[in-house]
Amino acid sequence: MTPPRSRAKPDGLMRAVLRSLFGVALPLAALLATGIATAQPGKTPAKLAASAKPAASAKPADPAKPAAPAKKPAKHGNGGAKKPAQSGSARGKAPRQKGSAPLAPDPAARSTVSGGTDTAGGSRAEIDELNAVDRELFPELTAKEAAPWQPEDQTRVSASGLPPPPSTTSAAAPLPSAPTDVAWLQSLAKPDIPFRWDPRVVRYLEFYRSSPKGRSMAASFIKKFGRYGESIRRVLRRQGMPEDIAWLAMMESAFEPRAQSGAGAAGLWQFTSKGATAYGLRMDRWVDERLDPERSTDAAARYLADLHKRFGRWELAFAAYNMGYGALLTSIRKYNTNDFWELCNLEAGLPLETALYIPKIIAIATVARNPAAFGLESITQDAAEPFEVATVGASVGLTTIASRGGVAVSDLRRLNPQLLEATTPPAGGTTQAAYTVRVPVGAATKLEGHSFDRPAAPEHDRITVRWGESLESIAIARGTTESKIRQLNGISSTVPLRPGTTLFVPRTRGVPAELPIVVISRPPALAPQKRHVLYEVVWGDQIVEIARVLGVTPAELCRWNAIDQSAALHGKMVLQAFVDPKRDVSDVRLLTPADAKLLVAGSDAFFEHFEGKNGRERIKVVVKKGETFKGLAEKYGLSAGMLERINHRSRYDGLSAGETLVVYAKESEPAVGKAPGDDPYEPGGAEARAN
């Protein structure tokens, strides 16, 4: 029979809270006088006491049933790729707009987040250090859970719904000694975000007040806040949101605009690629607006506003930002409560990171509003760096902007962390668009009147990268090198360019010395009234994209070539296709059979070319009586493994006199006559049979 659930008396429960926090018991009246119940900015202790409600204890866990391991909830968005999303590809990303105009957020994605029908490379060392402090402040919460196979009599189950007191045997650093009088909390200026004096919040405040390490960390946070804090507050005020939300960025990135997480999140607000796309942040090989303090803040404000619209409380909005709104909804429905603090106290109610995330924000926001109470009144915030905005052209190198504006390239990089290359991004197609950059004060005036819409030197051409073109093929066609093109365009990334990218290239033309060798996997099945073309794959191409630009189907491409549609394509593979002669393929780099020397894979001509480069030729030898696999390999200068690979048979197979083996012999060896039909292009070969 299941024992009935027990309820602690309100007075006893409150005493338990203080006992777990300070190791002392205070009268309930004194507790309410300090505002330990639910606190809102501007509420008096009397109102707080009137609104205080006893918390019910959690349902005891059944020790006979081991708890299922909790799934780690995803942060907003997904993990993202390590490489920047490529422009010009059909990968579901938001289309890139020309110039520097911000992308529009995805209304459908915002509606999903808000729950409505419509909705109008840096370091995070300080954050990692603060997360490490959590293990010292909350040893009872961060202790390793018992393994599922641990005997029942060794399993410790807490059913109080509150954090258990710190273990006296823990090796963690002791907490700062807490005063028995907590009235000082009531004298503090409150943040403008709703909160309550939860034990976790108070413990962080005591850490910042009493621990030298805590004061040092708080001083660093407040100092760094000056660089972007007021700009963030202005955005929040404009959106009618609490200004202390700015401290959420502190807990995400330590105000480092280039901060990167191991999960692929980036920027002040640690957006993932999926979240960035949904909220209109451009991401391609040139620009990552997650690193742009201004635009990422606008996006974060919209995202948090949508989360607040869905959940109705800022604590829950912050929790959803940290753990993902889907995971939070699951927890709310599972435990049938929408009280953040109640979810924190329920067993497995929220991830530990999320349960401590909101108290961290509340605590540091409180410290910032009361520097004198924490011995930080002498801290001076970093000054926000002043800048001006200048409009320049597309594909303009930062070195050009720096020289014409009389500033350092390092200053431009610091003010424009969103630029992934040392150049402004190219415009789409052949239309040149302006791009806005931040420059040091005084540089904007110097840049006025300069024309950035054409090459600085007359010997350069402006081209648009076509489908199937790579820097290597462009360099060969122009009689230059990849490194020169990279230097001319300020390209340092090794990620291949995507179609639509604009480049400056030398005006000279190169003339190939001989026709390129192109291997096709199958003889061409000539199709009447079709144009036979060859397409060289570039990194990032997908079979469906190539089929689309050529006006054929993926199934046809797979049939014309030995291609598995579910497998990835790789650079320098060559696909043959038969396209409609009337189709416009001017934006695709194509070869015709007349532009190359075609070799069918596995044909005699194929082996003659590739083995000839190695000073060998492919011949067939007739095994004589007494000859062995190993002996033949040694005779023709091959390894036994290579002979196995050529003939698809084990070296340990016995050989019979009169059977035939294929060897790659040195060209001085006599060759046995070829069998008719071996070469697909010879009379009676595969091509003739196919026709």
Q: Which of 318, 306, 321, 308 is nearest to 361 (CA)?
A: 318
Q: Per residue in 375-403, pLDDT tens?
A: 999 999 999 989 999 988 877 888 889 98
In contact, 278 and 106? CB cutoff 8 Å: yes
* Tokens found for residue 295: 């635009």
Lowest mean pLDDT among 137-146, 389-398, 410-419: 137-146
Distance (Å, whole) CA 528 – CA 297: 58
| pLDDT beyond 50 at 12 | no
Torsion sign over Cα 80, 82, 84, 85? negative
> What residue has token string 């409600």?
53
Distance (Å, whole) CA 312 – CA 114: 10
Q: Per residue in 209-221, pLDDT tens?
A: 999 999 999 999 9
Judged on CB neighbours under 10 Å (0-12, 13-18, 19+), 153 is: exposed
Distance (Å, whole) CA 606 – CA 686: 14
Please name the amino acid found at residue 73. P
Distant-in-sequence, close-in-space partners of 100: CB < 8 Å, separation ≥ 6: 391, 433, 434, 435, 436
DSSP letters, 282-347, are: -BSSSBBGGG-HHHHHHHHHHHHHHHHHHHSSHHHHHHHHHH-HHHHHHHHHHHT---HHHHHHST
Distance (Å, whole) CA 414 – CA 436: 15
| pLDDT beyond 80 at 643 | yes
Biggest distance spanned by C-alpha atoms of the chain? 109
Distance (Å, whole) CA 13 – CA 58: 12
pLDDT at 644: 87
pLDDT at 89: 36
- Measure the CA angle with vertex 683, ends 679 and 684; round to 5°: 80
Domain-by-domain residue ranges, the chain? 1-56, 209-281+306-371, 456-513, 517-600, 607-690
- CATH hierarchy code of domain 607-690: 3.10.350.10
Q: Which residues pair with 283 in a beta bridge?
A: 288
Distance (Å, whole) CA 49 – CA 563: 73
- CATH hierarchy code of domain 456-513: 3.10.350.10
| pLDDT beyond 60 at 94 | no
* Tokens found for residue 105: 């957020």
| CATH 1.10.530.10 correct for 209-281+306-371 | yes
pLDDT at 146: 30
Using alpha carbons, list the distances in angstroms from residue 264 to 84, 287, 653: 11, 16, 53
**Taking the chain, what is the end-to-end CA distance rounded to the nearest angstrom?**
83
Q: Which residues pair with 97 in a beta bridge?
A: none
The better pLDDT of the pair 527, 605 is held by 605
| CATH class for the domain made up of 517-600 | alpha beta
| pLDDT beyond 50 at 91 | no
Q: Which of 418, 389, 393, 422 is nearest to 408 (CA)?
A: 422
In contact, 189 and 370? CB cutoff 8 Å: yes
Distance (Å, whole) CA 232 – CA 299: 11
Radius of gyration of the chain (CA): 34
The answer to whether domain 209-281+306-371 and domain 456-513 are alike in fold is no
Q: Per residue in 111-138, pLDDT tens?
A: 566 655 444 455 567 677 777 777 777 7
Q: Per residue in 150-197, pLDDT tens?
A: 333 333 333 333 333 443 333 333 334 444 456 788 889 999 998 888
